[in-house]
A and B are shown apart, each in its own frame.
Chain A
Amino acid sequence: MIWENVTLAASSLKTNKTRALLTMLGIIIGIASVIAIVSIGNALESSVSTDLAALGTANITIAVQEREKENAIGRLRPPTGVIITGKTPTSSDLITETMISDFKARFADVIQGISISYSGGSATARDMELYANVSILGINKDYATANTITLLSGRIISQQDIDGFANVAVVSDKLVENMFPLGTDTVGKTIKIYKPNSIDIYTIIGVYEYAQDGPFASTASDRDMQTVMYIPVSTAKKDVLEKNFTSFTVVANADEDITQLTDSFQSYFDGVYAGNRDWKASASNLTLILDTVTSTLNTITLAVAVIAAISLIVGGIGVMNIMLVSVTERTREIGIRKALGAKTFHIQLQFLIEAVIVTVIGGIIGIMLGLALGVLASLILGVAASASIPMIFLSFIFSMAIGLFFGLYPASKAAKLDPIEALRYE
């Protein structure tokens, strides 16, 4: 019964293909945009997640921050991390080596390492007419645990390098290209580093692969780009009076709950800084950023979904309109069918099925179009395409529901026609 109605409806749609297709357009556009946006959103979200994971979601950063105070105007609080007084912490407010080793001892069982870095500013490596821009980063031994450094040759900064204030450096392959165009083995070679008021000579102990889309990516040309040069943190701080740190990063063991650890680190440092009225050390992790990104993407997805829903409703009204036209056009047919014994529900079913077929075919075309758009957008954005199966299923059900909903009125109108009047209709 249903199946015969389906074939019947399909054959009556075939007689007016162009019209059927135009009718479907609203549904196609609505469904396609939902599917496309959801898959692009999914792709973006997972790509952001992997990017952030590369930065280290297992990392917890402890940083010295000014305490939030009720300001003079009232109880307004400045946003976290924003120093509105412009005060700088004094040496005694900063994190000392002892504090770090005490902390390390206290949490020895949950942490893999503690990464410390100190920016030594920008400099240029020169050798006759050859040059390469670098930004100097003093690091400790655990820095490589917290951050991804892909070594191409040689080794990373060791504890002996740090203890010995050694003038050793791990440089990028880009620097090697610029400074050693002949491509000989560079490990063991020396480079001259020109700073505004000093010239130092460093021995290259390792070469790492420059990550084009990494956190330190440069937008300059290969010739002028600035790449990071890693040196021992002690060497970087040699000429600096301030020996304490404003921040350090903890690498937790893989199986630890980062959120929970962040909380316990926070309460540990709250204890350490209990006596300090202006400054504190606050613990944070990247999962917080990830959450923000995710919720932003969700908001965008929702907004597009609303727009798509409107387009689906408009599409549904289009279907209703065409079905009403179809009922009028086929008044005589309805009269004949009624004369032959069709009951109200027979006529209703016939037109409902026709409406549902229109919207379902529209839905299927929309789903395919949306998936294609999703793949295209992913290619352009350079992220992996990812389709949402539940979303496809939902779209299918939804397009069916639209057909049912917007087909109902025309179908009952058809079913209510008086057979005599309908038979007389020209």
Chain B
Amino acid sequence: MLEQLDVSQLNWARAQFALTAMYHWIFVPLTLGLSFLLAFFETLYVKTGNEQWKRITKFWMKLFGINFAIGVATGIIMEFEFGTNWSNYSWMVGDIFGAPLAAEGIFAFFLETTFFAVMFFGWNRVSKNFHLLSTWLVAIGSNLSALWILVANGWMQHPVGMAFNPDNARFEMQNFWEVLFSPVAMSHFVHTTSSGFLLSCLFIVTVCSWYLLKGRHVEMAKKSLAVACTFGIISAAFVGFTGDESAYVAAQVQPMKLAAMEGLWDGEINADLVALGIVNPAKKPGDDQDAFQIEVKIPYLLSLLANREFGSFVPGVNDLVYGNPEQGVMGAEEKIVLGKQAIHQLALYKKAQENNDDVVAAAALAAFSEHQDYLGYGYLNSAEETVPNVPLVFYSFHMMVVLGTLFPVLFAAILFFLYKKNLGEQKWFLRLGVLSVFLGYVASQSGWVVAEVGRQPWAIQGLLPVSIARTNLTTTTVQMTFFMFLIIFTTLLIAEVRIMTKQIQNGPEGE
């Protein structure tokens, strides 16, 4: 199954996916959130008849359009990159991804595209109410498409509703609803979309803070802020709540990810939560170095967050690698042995089928089924491979959470100053406001680092490591496309940022 593994090719393929996904993720959160903000602004226009809301809607819509175009450009590659760079994976999961992708295409994409056209070209061609409806449908359509792709991602993090078919070596769907309503999919969906709303509100804060500092478009800026910060606070609450849920779910289904997020090397009963810390980068599984150089702990809190129960045991990296029989934790070492047996039996089964030897085939299949849950482990060479990059995951997670607690305070403060009618005078605060979208991006990209680096080496948790998932390509080929993407996306990003800043400088029409 595995030709000799070319590690550098694998790393380049991963780098390429990370590159394209992170570029794509610069634009998507803004689409997710701005589309709803546009709907709010336009609703206010239609309800009040106040032309200023229309100007506000049109202004943000222009920025939305600029962002949307490059979101589409970076998005198409994501759909096909599964096939081009991860073809083995595509084959093995195609039967499961099929349904969500079909649903995404049929339900979401066309809603988004069709009504996008009305939103932009229809001001003078359709009625006010139909236009408003279209704006809402764009928002719903874009968030629906996020649903389906996150269902697919959620399935990779925690494969459910399927069975492995040894005859054609792939996973086949058994229950669509289980795939759709998997707890991982749902918590990721809500966390991701609400974090997109949050980021969009921060975008508005950035632009409007700048206007207020310059004393330009003051009325429009304040009106936009009032809406955005209200929506921002609600979104931030959702983000925190669903983030907690995500961590809880991770603790149940991806304990190694949780251990990495918390830098927990040795499991504990009543584990403490490390609120802040500097990890020891030299720490390796199984050694007895200190995990942290500096740490600030909150006693017992991790057990509560991870298991929602004081006194519960949270496994650490070492427990998950070497096992902890006392706590009933099976280690990766043992799983690798079982996984190798599964692979061996699968090969026997294939051979027996070729020889039309039904008896041997049946026996091999039975033996395979016994260990198939560990299939993926059989492709690993050492138990230590199951440990992701702990410092990276730890810092990313903590950065996200710290920022996640800062943002609602920021929104609340803006609303407070708006209420006091002295926001324009808070110069230092507005300067912080200008920075806010960049902080939002740090949090948002860190979130994906946690989710994706935290689950290495798995393409499908426990069942398929990335080393098997990849396409059989040469390193040079992947390097070439990596740099092609780097150059083209960077060029387009520069164009986008320049166009965007120019439009922001120009401000809304007619003001």
Partners in one complex: no
**Interface, chain B (partner A; CB < 8 A):** none
**Interface, chain A (partner B; CB < 8 A):** none
